[in-house]
């Protein structure tokens, strides 16, 4: 198996939700850019 004990973001209290929000924000920003360029 993989050793996940040395990943600092796993020990932050709300790290999972922060990373999830960051990923959703990136996707939303990409969709806005694509829509403005007429690619979507």
DSSP 1-22: ----TT-GGGGSTTHHHHHHHH
31, two tokens: 């969709």
Residue 8 is predicted with a pLDDT of: 74
* Contact status, residue 15 vs residue 7, Cβ threshold 8 Å: no
pTM over 0.95: no
- Torsion region of 18: left, alpha or beta (phi above 0 gives left; psi -120 to 50 gives alpha): alpha
Residue 7 is predicted with a pLDDT of: 74
Query: Using one digit for the tens of pLDDT, what is the confidence trace for 1-39?
Result: 667 777 776 778 887 888 899 999 999 999 999 999 999
Residue 19 is predicted with a pLDDT of: 85
How far is it, in rounded angstroms, from Cα 29 to Cα 23?
10
Q: Give the three-class secondary structure for 39.
A: coil
């Amino acid at each position: 198996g993989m050793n996940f004990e040395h990943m600092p973001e796993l020990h932050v209290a709300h790290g999972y939700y922060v990373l999830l929000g960051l990923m959703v924000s990136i996707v939303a920003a990409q969709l806005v850019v694509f829509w403005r360029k007429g690619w979507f």
